[in-house]
A and B are shown apart, each in its own frame.
Chain A
Amino acid sequence: MKLFGILGLQMGERSVALQLAEGARLRDLFEVLGEHFGAKFGEAIFRQPGVLQTYVRIFLDDVPVDDLDTPLTASLPPHLDVGTISHDGEGTHAADRASAKPRGEEQARVGLMVMSAVEGG
């Protein structure tokens, strides 16, 4: 698990290795991280319990995902069709991941970044 940008600085750790139970989902990972870092972690990324702030991005194997129910035990197919998108075009849908091939012994690489509320123009 990697915390990018300001999150890594705020939490005092950039990289955390965690062992999760078989079948764990992103949601479970965040619970464990909340215990690991304490309340400041939840404050930084959740708008209310279980609901991410809109500008938090989660990456699984470098690809943004937007569904906390995404399983960590599945991996992306090695060459995901470039046409595979979620309903909103951002990230990859949980269903795509659920049908992806099992990860086996390979570690899930999860990243987290706050892409803050900045201006437009």
Chain B
Amino acid sequence: MVQAFEQKTPETERAHEANGEDRWIPSACSMCYGTCSILAHRVNGVVTKIEGNPASEIGKGRLCAKGISGIMTLYDPNRVNVPLRRTNPKKGVGVDPGWKEITWDEALDEIAARLRKVRAEDPRKLFLQRTTTNTTIGPICHAFCHAFGTMNQWVAGGGLHCGNGAHLISGIMHASWSIVPDFEHCQYAVYFGASKGHAAGHASCSNMGLAADARVRGMKMVVVDPMCNFAAAKANEWVPIRVGTDAALALAMAHVLVNELGIWDAPYLASKTNAPYLIGPDKLYVRDAETQEPLVWDATAGRARPYNAEKLGQEPLGELALEGEYEAQGVRCRPAFACLKEHLARHTPEWAEPITTIPAATIRRLGQEFGREARVGSTIVIDGVRLPYRPVAAIAFRGSEGHRNAVYNFLAIDLLNHLVGAADVVGGCLGFNPVCHGHPETKRPAYVPYAGPDGLMVTGSWMVPHLPYPFEYPRMPKSMGFNELFPLGMSSPLMASADQEERWQRFDLPYRPEVMINIGCNSVMSVGNSETVINTLLRIPFIVSFDLFRTELSDLADIVLPDMSYLEQLDSKPNYPFIFNLPGGMGDWCWAVRQPLIEPVAERRQMNQVLLELAERVGISEDINMALNALLKLQPPFTLKGSQQYSFAEVCDQHLKSNFGPRHDLAWFKEHGVLSWPKKPQEVYWRPFVEVRVPIYWEYLKRVGDQARALAEPRGLHLPEEFYDPLPTWLPCPGHECSDEQFDLYGFYYRDTIHTNSLTQENAWLDETAQLDPNSYYIAMNAETGKKKGLHDGDWVWMETVKGRRVRGRVHLTQGMHPEGLGIGGCAGHWTDGMPVARGKGVFFNQLLEIDMDHASPVNLNLDLCVKVRLRRCEEA
């Protein structure tokens, strides 16, 4: 085994002093998952400053306040520094665990013994949860779980709160994890509950620079959001919307485009989507009897033919019908686009006005502006290549999709892009780098989307082994989260829900979790109300938690292990797997690494190394090597071999050499930080060059729904049919259906720019910054609404739900809030003494959220994040 890092000894300390060391070292930030490239100033072994690395596209030399403040987490005196063993067997909130310091060997012996036992009984008894924020840990956690034999893994809160809808649909429609406007060329961007380029999120700092330049250039920004927050404050227009009604607005805008203005990109729809596929009376594709391929109407030939006739050896297709009614295979049928057009006719601006509270005239104007600015049919030359030019983009993320209707909310918004052909072309809505032809020397990493079943697009690269399409059809669940029943979902609330045990019993789940490994995640606060989560955790007999600080979750653990912060860690792939954080648009490809900036402190260890060691102790080294070969796409001669033991540093070295050749090994990357090469227009604006289609009509959703319901309904799990229709509509959240007039406001949370969820709440500089901010630790409320309720700025209130859950906070009255909205930043309100800086600060919004299947999307399991509340004035906390 190779020792990953140099040990801190009196000799090395003296050497540093003698050398008078003064270096800038390249690495990668992880104060959020943006992974901006950084340069850290190290003087005599101490990190004194962090700046952005201008040599990198990831961050483009910029850092946000969180990135600069990482030093305070690195040197926080409250860090966990040694393994701790609980001595008090009783667990619960306020119960002293009776921590006792133990050695790493003692800790690993006990953990390995537990793991060997459950693996022998049933490996699915292992449950692993990890934070989304540290991107370094994803592949190793997947590899460990696959090797061990458990599918029970999740990013508690992440996914449920943000990604289930956004990533799924971005994957299916744009072959990427997320979407952004092509900032360099876009003229008109509409943001629906998204802050890309204005606050936190993927490629955050790079996008902030690009968005600022775009605004200066004249790109018009319209931001649809209940709160005039980070994006809206910089926009040309803020459109306040009732919480959770974005699909209604987007569908009405689409109606204006298609049915009032007659604007759509017919060549794009005919060749790049399933718009011409014929739909029968059963809402399914009409298929060729012989080949089972979906049929289209060849208007030139005057008959139905397979969409891929030429590939089947037939003569090329003529002009494909997008409208009309035909007969094929003995049934009356219409092209999918005709079905969509008729469906949209019901979604007029007048229909949307009472749902969204946005005047019909405003909705109509937005639709008209979007259609006019799309310039359907125009082209532009980029680097000598003529390309379609559609300078409009409709962008969505957590705000619009964090609802029970997550799938349709996101899909309805993205339909705007596809109707006008503004998908992955110049000026339009771009996925994050879904086509890469690789480094010029090695042609790696390389990936291109390709056509899967029914000609629909399969992503060329993805974050997890579970592709967004093609998905498995529903099966009887065997996992804790019932992922098999919800193939369009990722994170599942059943991992920590109130109805967990009842559902497991009804579906005869043959095991229960016995060992939990928690990695840097505080699920007590990150999922929903803490009481529900704690109840699920108390049922797990043995919990081991890797932590920087003792959190509310680690207080329930049996063993706490001292993790390294990102400034102490090594990683060959902070931006894994390349579709995550590199900004969209032209510029450079850029591969960056993370490296330790100081020598190891106390007993802290990087969890990646610890998991490899645990794999060895459990006897699954060969399995984890194989899983890493697959996940990291290692190629000979750089594959991990048999049951050979590798240090994490060796895995990183193999990974880098596999991608970039032996010259670009770990040592090279540690010295240079990043490897860059130029992007090509065919990579960035790939849509015209890649023969794939995307679904504007989600035919398979109906098939999935039918099969899921057939399995779920007999066991008492109701999956409403209206969520599985092939065409999107607006469906209400439980909060919209609340009829008790006392509960007259919609509480929601937003991603603060000062804090990253609960992760950074202990950081002293960020806490100080948040205390100066008018919103961070407050409940933002419409000033007029507050006045009507007799509230004044700074008043203390209880925020209460129909279910009787409540949190206390101070109101900040502002004009920048929808009259019915109450906005809360991040995930504050800690109570553990392990985080003394964070303790008692801000509002714990998630405490108000129910965690059960009734409050989750019945399609992709996204948790409903808006909650109907009332306010009551109270005394100071």
CB-CB contacts below 8 Å: B460-481 with A: 460-461, 463-467, 470-473, 479, 481
Decide if B819 is an interface residue (CB 8 Å cutoff): no
Among A55, A78, A88, A118, chain B packs the most CB atoms within 10 A around the CB of A118
In contact, A5 and B479 (Cβ under 8 angstroms): no
**Cβ A62 vs Cβ B438 within 8 A:** no
Out of A6, A54, A83, A119, which one reaches B442, CB within 8 Å? A83
Q: For the complex, give the distance between the alpha carbons of A112 and B473 in Å.
A: 21
Q: Nearest-CB distance from A105 to chain B (Å)?
A: 20
**A49 located at the interface, meaning its Cβ lies under 8 Å from any Cβ of chain B in the complex:** no
For the complex, give the distance between the alpha carbons of A62 and B438 in Å: 22
When distances are taken between beta carbons in the complex, the residues of chain A under 8 Å from B304 are: none
Does B149 belong to the interface (CB within 8 Å)? Answer: yes
A115 near B142 (CB under 8 angstroms)?
yes
- Judged by a CB distance under 8 angstroms, whether B276 is at the interface is no
B665 within 8 A of A: no
Q: A61-B636, A120-B167 are in contact. Are A113 and B472 (CB under 8 A)?
A: no
Instruction: Indicate whether B454 reaches chain A with its CB closer than 8 angstroms.
Output: no
Q: Is B487 an interface position by the 8 A CB rule?
A: yes
Asked whether B490 lies within 8 Å of A111 as measured between CB atoms, the reply is no
Q: A6-B150, A62-B629 are known contacts. Are A113 and B623 too (CB-CB below 8 A)?
A: yes
Q: Decide: A116 and B636 in contact? CB cutoff 8 A.
A: no
Question: Contact between B626 and A90 (Cβ–Cβ < 8 Å)?
Answer: no
A41 CB–B CB distance under 8 Å:
no
Q: Mark B615-653, 1 if CB is under 8 A from A, else 0.
A: 000001011011101110111111111100000000000
Q: Which residues of B sit under 8 angstroms from A87, Cβ to Cβ?
A: 448, 450
A39 within 8 Å of B (CB atoms): no
8 Å CB contact of A115 from B444, B491, B627: B627
Q: Are A89 and B627 in contact (CB under 8 A)?
A: no
Q: What is the interface size of chain B, counting residues whose CB is below 8 A from a CB of the partner? A: 75
- Contact of B205 with A by CB under 8 A: no
Q: Which residue of B lies closest to A58 (CB)?
A: B630
Q: Indicate whether B661 reaches chain A with its CB closer than 8 angstroms.
A: yes
CB <8 Å contact, B635 and A119: no
From residue B683, how far is it (CB to closest CB) to chain A in Å? 13
A113 near B154 with CB under 8 A, answer no
CA distance A87 to B460 in the complex (A): 8
Cβ-neighbour of A82 out of B449, B623, B635, B641 (below 8 A): B635
User: Chain A 18-52, CB within 8 Å of chain B: the 1/0 string?
Assistant: 00000000000000000000000000000100000
B155 near A82 with CB under 8 A, answer no
Expressed in whole angstroms, the Cα–Cα distance for A111 and B65 within the complex equals 47
Interface presence of A114 (CB below 8 A) = yes
Whether B145 sits at the interface, judged by CB under 8 Å, is yes
Chain A facing B: main interface SS: loop
> Are B627 and A4 neighbours in the complex by a CB distance under 8 Å?
yes
CA of A70 to CA of B146, assembled, Å? 24
Q: Are A88 and B149 in contact (CB under 8 A)?
A: no
- A80 near B636 with CB under 8 A, answer yes
Residue A98 CB within 8 A of the other chain: no
Secondary structure call for the B interface: loop
Interface pair B639/A120, CB less than 8 Å apart: no
| A120-B142 Cα distance, complex, nearest whole Å | 10
B35 within 8 A of A: no
Q: Is the CB of A118 within 8 A of B633?
A: no
Contact A90 to B633, CB < 8 A, known contacts A47-B473, A55-B465, A118-B151: yes
Give A91 Cβ to nearest chain B Cβ, in Å.
8
**Residue from A53, A88, A119 having most chain B Cβ neighbours under 10 A:** A119
Contact B146 A114 (CB under 8 A): yes
Q: In whole angstroms, how far apart are the Cα atoms of A9 and B657 in the complex?
A: 33
The answer, yes or no, to whether B522 is at the interface (CB within 8 Å) is no
Contact partners of A5 in chain B: CB under 8 A: 123, 146-149, 620, 623, 627
Does residue A107 face the partner (Cβ distance < 8 Å to B)?
A: no
Give the residues in chain B near A113, CB-CB below 8 Å: 146, 623, 626-627, 630
Whether A82 contacts B163 by the Cβ 8 Å rule is no
Q: Check A120 against B491 for contact (C-beta < 8 Å).
A: yes
Contact of A62 among B458, B626, B657 (CB under 8 A): B626
A4 to B147 CA separation, bound complex (whole angstroms): 7
* A58 CA / B484 CA spacing, docked (Å): 21
Beta-carbon contact of A64 and B636 below 8 Å: no
- How far apart are B329's CB and chain A's nearest CB, in angstroms? 22
How far is B458's CA from A83's CA once the two chains are assembled, in angstroms?
A: 21
Contact with A along B155-180 (1 / 0, CB 8 A): 10011001110010000000000000
A97 within 8 A of B: no
Give Cα distance in the complex from A119 to B167, angstroms.
11
B639 adjacent to A63 (CB under 8 Å) = yes
Contact of B460 among A76, A80, A84, A88 (CB under 8 A): A88
B-facing mask of A54-68, CB < 8 A → 1, else 0? 110101011110000
Residue in chain A with minimal CB distance to B473: A47
B132 an interface residue at 8 Å Cβ cutoff? yes
A16 at interface (Cβ–Cβ under 8 A)? Answer: no
Residues in A with CB closer than 8 Å to B625 are: 62
Q: Please, which residues of chain A bring their CB within 8 A of the CB of B447?
A: 85, 88-90
CB within 8 Å of A: which B99-128 residues: 119, 123-124
Q: Would you call A121 an interface residue if the criterion is a C-beta within 8 Å of the partner chain's C-beta atoms?
A: yes
Whole-angstrom distance from the CB of A94 to the nearest CB of chain B? 15
- Given contacts A85-B446, A89-B447, is CB(A117)–CB(B466) below 8 Å? yes
Q: Are A118 and B464 in contact (CB under 8 A)?
A: yes
B471 touches A119 (CB 8 A): no
Q: Which A residues lie within 8 Å of B642 (CB)?
A: 62
B443 close to chain A: CB less than 8 A: yes
CA distance A44 to B616 in the complex (A): 26
- B138: chain A residues at CB < 8 Å are 121
- Beta-carbon contact of B659 and A116 below 8 Å: no
Interface string of B416-458 (1 = CB under 8 A from A): 0000000000000000000000100011111111100000001
Docked Cα-Cα span, A72 to B473, in Å, equals 30
| Residue B729 interfacial (CB < 8 Å) | no
Chain A: CB-nearest residue to B145: A118
Question: 28 A-B residue contacts at CB 8 Å?
Answer: A5-B123, A5-B148, A5-B627, A8-B149, A55-B466, A55-B472, A59-B630, A62-B625, A62-B629, A63-B629, A78-B636, A79-B637, A82-B442, A82-B635, A89-B448, A89-B460, A89-B461, A89-B633, A90-B633, A115-B146, A115-B465, A116-B466, A117-B479, A118-B145, A118-B153, A118-B483, A119-B490, A121-B155
Measuring CB to CB, which residues of chain A are less than 8 angstroms from any residue of chain B?
2, 4-6, 8-9, 47, 53-55, 57, 59, 61-64, 76, 78-80, 82-85, 87-90, 111, 113-121
Apart from the given pairs A6-B150, A62-B626, 15 other A-B contacts in the complex at a CB distance below 8 Å: A47-B473, A59-B630, A63-B636, A78-B637, A79-B637, A80-B635, A83-B443, A88-B458, A90-B633, A116-B145, A116-B483, A117-B472, A118-B154, A118-B465, A121-B163
Sort A-B residue pairs by CB-CB distance and give the 8 closest, nearest first.
A6-B149, A83-B443, A89-B447, A116-B151, A121-B158, A121-B155, A115-B465, A121-B132
